[in-house]
Copies of this chain bind each other. A is one copy, B any other.
């Protein structure tokens, strides 16, 4: 049984438990997860029986890559009739068939077209169904994330070797991106959230990195301007200021995420101490990184540690621009489940891959922190990050 079939079986078993008759998978990443191809179209997975991938484009490529049966989509309007013909027992019930799809990403306009094309159906939000299955990674997924960890480390070391006083933040980012691209990075990290975008991460020095932005992370940065309002911009690196290197790449579809803090010279006492508090929070989090620990508990513990250090208002962003989490799942997307945040009471489980990123923001001065990505194992964790830790002091340049 191939991995894609295993994933579909998991989905089908949950669908049956929730009385869902079919799942219409519409998003490129979800389609890839369940079929092995990322061509566009609609993948129909019935609660029992075989799936069909109705392909918009490219049919020939989907045929060569997908393990499931593929058909040309043709007119969307006929999709309902074709589903009925292909799955007569499902769509000829007395009651309406219950069909789930990804309400979190599917645009309203396309949903309305699907509703018109497939009438006599009760639509359900299947977002959590898919996201919860994707939360637990299989060995082949963990291997891809490991490869991404190695490429991220290569790029990080290249950045550490290249950083110079007077260099623009975006030039440092260019070094990172070029290294990653040459080693298989697709050029961006996919992100599920509406209006969220990330390319290779957040890299910036001093005050530029402390400028808040819309991005759902503890460090956004000034960016290149209001139309590209995050990550690296044209600020030049100065001595004795933190250089945040929060980077990741996407190898064979899988994302990795890691942060290190560098400085040319020395940080002042307050920032140096804040960095050490971030490391302390990470170590204390690691102690509880075992199956069964509540995700929420890890976040609450980190809040307490930040408070004990007198750094609450700097933790995970400054004051009103703080984000309310300590970490997030990663995989095909950078914003996967679980989230280490209030309200996420689900326990850690083996197979989860989580980026944990305690950071402190000081307006006009910069952001310091550390982030590793971890695999939850049967009896604890494995650190997937392979980069050296600690504040990276680069010496005079």
Contact = CB atoms under 8 A, between A and B. Distances in A.
A37 B226 contact: yes
B200 A187 contact: yes
B106 A127 contact: no
B253 A227 contact: yes
A107 B174 CA distance: 33
A227 B321 contact: no
Contacts of A229: 37-39, 61, 65
A1 interface: no
A338 interface: no
B36 A226 contact: yes
B178 A224 contact: no
A145 B361 CA distance: 35
Contacts of A190: 197
A56 interface: yes
A68 B104 CA distance: 29
A5 to B, nearest CB: 16
Interface stretch (A208-216, A306-314, A384-392): A208-216
A43 to B, nearest CB: 12
Interface string A61-90: 100010000001000000000000000000
Contact of A103 (B108, B181, B227): B108
Q: Which interface class (under 10, 10 to 19, 20 to 34, 35 or more) fits A?
A: 35 or more
A92 interface: no
Interface in A165-204: 170-171, 173-174, 177-178, 181-182, 184, 186-188, 190, 194-195, 197, 199-200
Interface string A26-50: 1110001000111110000000000
A27 B177 contact: no
Nearest to A110: B194
A330 B40 CA distance: 23
Nearest to A36: B226
Nearest to A114: B108
| Of listed A28, A187, A229, residue having the most chain B CB within 10 A | A187
Given A178-B174, A181-B173, A32 B194 contact: no
Given A178-B177, A211-B61, A214-B57, A184 B224 contact: yes
| Of listed A38, A40, A211, A216, residue having the most chain B CB within 10 A | A38
A107 B106 contact: yes
Given A105-B107, A177-B178, A321-B57, A227 B213 contact: no
A228 interface: yes
Nearest to A168: B182
A214 B252 contact: no
Nearest to A101: B108
A100 B228 CA distance: 26
Given A110-B194, A194-B110, A321-B60, A214 B39 contact: yes
A199 B194 contact: no
Contacts of A37: 226, 229
A200 to B, nearest CB: 7
29 contacts: A27-B195, A28-B214, A32-B226, A38-B214, A38-B227, A38-B229, A39-B214, A39-B229, A57-B214, A57-B216, A57-B321, A58-B213, A59-B320, A59-B321, A60-B320, A61-B213, A65-B229, A72-B320, A103-B107, A106-B194, A107-B107, A107-B194, A110-B194, A171-B182, A174-B182, A178-B178, A188-B199, A226-B253, A227-B253
Shortest beta-carbon contacts, A-B, top 9 = A227-B253, A186-B228, A58-B212, A187-B199, A103-B109, A103-B108, A40-B214, A28-B195, A174-B181
Given A57-B216, A65-B226, A107-B194, 9 more contacts: A38-B226, A58-B321, A106-B107, A106-B194, A109-B125, A170-B181, A184-B224, A225-B253, A227-B252
